[in-house]
């Protein structure tokens, strides 16, 4: 698929990493600090999964998913929230049925391409000054010309503790062992996706977020991005 020419009117910072590494929290905080749009690519996969399940579409059928995607209107808002046909989705996207089906949806290359082209359209919206995008392949595939690519990593124990706190806050009764097992399963599904598998980029940085507070990690990211924005954009790689 042809990649859009770099749009220096709309720089992108891409934060990728495994599940529960904290990348969405950091991407939101960074977008807020910069006054940019936040684009959580995982929520776009989840929104399509939600629409497909509602229509009774089998998440293993790429054509049925593409048909579903063309039949709905998906919009992204500056804070990263996603709406489908005018309905803002939030808790719906975290439902266990979505967790189960979203990996099937994300396994289809043609579905990934359709979502990626829609996400790239954000850059041409006049009101978007810049984008902080997160996901698994935001820097490697969606926005390969991002001015800064950071792989947000964290050990599996730190990730499991974070995910357990989120799940418990949502009122779900579970154990750290179950949460850890689910994370490891998700890691191996993600790792099997070739070019879209989460991995540090050769032209990017790695931030180990196992033991940092949100403020510390956001401060580190800002210290990397601010000098880039002062440079002549055409010199950025
Ligand atoms: O980020 P989150 O865990 O909400 O993403 C949901 C799922 O969507 C992930 O498990 C992953 O399989 C898929 N995904 C992806 N590529 C992205 C973002 C998410 O494959 N860029």
For residue 111 and ligand 1, the question of a CB distance below 6 A is answered with: no
Top CATH class of 41-128 equals: alpha beta
pLDDT tens digit at each of 237 positions of the chain: 344 444 557 999 999 999 999 999 999 999 999 999 999 999 999 999 999 999 999 999 999 999 999 999 999 999 999 999 999 999 899 888 999 999 999 999 999 999 999 999 999 888 999 999 999 999 999 999 999 999 999 999 999 999 999 888 888 889 999 999 999 999 999 999 999 999 999 999 999 999 999 999 999 999 999 999 876 444 343
Given the CA of residue 19, which atom of ligand 1 is nearest to it? 3
Residue 150, CA distances (Å) to 78, 115, 124, 153, 234 in order? 21, 21, 23, 9, 20
Which of 3, 1, 22, 34 is closest to 148 using CA atoms?
34
- As a whole number of angstroms, the distance between CA 180 and CA 227 comes to 38
Pocket probe for ligand 1: among 80, 102, 146, 167, the residue whose CB has the most ligand atoms within 8 Å is 102
Whether the full predicted model's pTM is greater than 0.75, yes or no, is yes
Q: Whose CA is nearest to atom 14 of ligand 1?
A: 42
Q: Say if 9-36+131-221 and 41-128 have the same CATH topology.
A: yes
Q: Where are the domains of the chain?
A: 9-36+131-221, 41-128
Cross-strand partners of 39: 133
As assigned by CATH, the class of the 9-36+131-221 domain is alpha beta
């Amino acid at each position: 698929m042809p990649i859009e020419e770099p749009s220096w009117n709309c720089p992108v910072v891409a934060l990728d990493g495994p599940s529960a590494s904290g990348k969405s929290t950091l991407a939101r905080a960074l977008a807020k600090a910069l006054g940019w749009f936040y684009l959580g690519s995982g929520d776009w996969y989840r929104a399509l999964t939600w629409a497909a399940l509602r229509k009774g579409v089998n998440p293993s059928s790429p054509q049925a998913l593409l048909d579903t995607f063309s039949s709905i209107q998906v919009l992204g808002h500056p804070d990263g929230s996603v709406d489908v046909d005018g309905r803002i989705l939030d808790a719906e996207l975290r439902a266990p049925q979505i967790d189960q089906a979203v990996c099937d949806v994300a396994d289809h290359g043609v579905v990934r391409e359709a979502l990626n082209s829609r996400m790239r359209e954000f850059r041409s919206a006049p009101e978007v000054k810049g984008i902080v995008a997160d996901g698994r392949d935001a820097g490697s595939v969606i926005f390969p010309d991002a001015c800064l690519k950071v792989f947000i990593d964290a050990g599996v124990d730190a990730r499991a503790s974070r995910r357990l706190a989120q799940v418990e806050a949502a009122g779900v009764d579970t154990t750290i062992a179950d949460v850890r097992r689910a994370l490891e399963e998700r890691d191996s599904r993600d790792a099997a996706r070739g070019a879209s598998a989460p991995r540090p980029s050769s032209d990017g940085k790695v931030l180990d977020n196992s033991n940092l507070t949100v403020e510390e990690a956001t401060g580190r990211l800002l210290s990397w991005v601010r000098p880039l924005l002062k440079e002549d954009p055409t010199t950025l790689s």
